[in-house]
Amino acid sequence: MKYPVFLALAALSVFLSPRLQAQDEPRTAEEILRLVRLSYALQDHKMQGRLRDESTGRVEPMELTMSQQVIRFRFINQPPEIVHLDLSTTPATLWQVKPGGSSRVPLSNSALEVRKMDFNYEDLSLRFLYWPNAKLMGEERVSTVKCWRLRVTAPDRSGPYGTVDLWVHKESGGIAKMEAWNALGKMVKRFQVTKVQKVDKATVLKEMRIESFNPANGDRKGRTYMTLDNPERNR
C-alpha cells in the first residue's frame, strides 16, 4: 500500500497504492524525501471534503484537486479562496487566489491560519520537504504501519517551524504522521491520518487530525479534522 502525502499537509497522505519493491527502497534520508515529493507530483484526482473545528463544530467545505503537478485547495464559503501548490518548481511555490487576483503567498504569511483552522500556509507549502541535511532517526510504527522517522531542520527563521519530524510509510514513501517544533524546541503542530477508506483497489484517506499546541506550556490549543469523500479521476 502507498501513502502519498497530501496536505499538504495537506492534506498529508491521500492515496495508498502497491508497495515498493525491495530493490527500490530508498537508503538515505534525502532519497526518502525525494520519494515523498514524487508521490505528490504523480497524483491525478479530485476529492470533495470538509474541515471541522472540534471546539466550535464549525465546518468549512473544500475541494481538493491533484493534477499536472499542482495541488489545489478550493474553499467555497465566503470569502472564497483558492490555494494551489505548484510542484514543478524547487521548492514548490504556493499561490493564493482571492477576488481581485492571484499572488504568491509571501513567507511573512506562512504562520497565518488557513480559514481559521489549525493549519497554516507553511503546512500547505510543504517547504520542509525541501530543507537540506535531513536525518534518518530510525524506524517506528504509526498505527501498526512501519515507518521511517526523518528529522528536518529549517535553514533559517523565516517560517513558524524550526524542526519537523516526519514518519514516512516504508512501503510507499507517503507521510503517516508529522510533528513540528518552533525554533526554541517547543511543539506547535501535529498531523496524523486517523481513518482510511477502500476505493476499488486503492486505500484512500478518509480523515486526518490536525492539532496545534501552545509552545509556552505544551497545552493543545485546537484540533481540526479534515474529512475527504471518495476520489474522482480527473478528466
Phi, psi of 181 (to 5 degrees): -120, 150
> How many residues are given for the chain?
235
Q: What is the band of 28 on the pLDDT scale with cuts at 50, 70, 90?
A: very high
Question: Which DSSP state fits 130?
Answer: G
> What does the block give as the cell for 18?
502497491
Q: Residue 151 to residues 2, 23, 28, 55, 82: CA-CA distances in angstroms? A: 21, 24, 12, 31, 30
Least confident range of 3-7, 32-36, 75-79: 3-7
- The mean pLDDT of 45-65, rounded to a whole number, is 94
- The mean pLDDT of 1-10, rounded to a whole number, is 39
Q: What pLDDT score does 151 carry?
A: 98
Domain borders along the chain are 7-229
Q: What is the band of 198 on the pLDDT scale with cuts at 50, 70, 90?
A: low
**Fold of the CATH domain 7-229:** outer membrane lipoprotein receptor (LolB), chain A (2.50.20)
pTM across the whole model: 0.85
- Of all residues in the chain, the percent with pLDDT exceeding 90 is 63
If one counts every other C-beta atom within 10 angstroms of the C-beta of residue 61, the result is 12
- DSSP string across 13-30: --EE-SPPPGGG---SHH
If one counts every other C-beta atom within 10 angstroms of the C-beta of residue 126, the result is 26
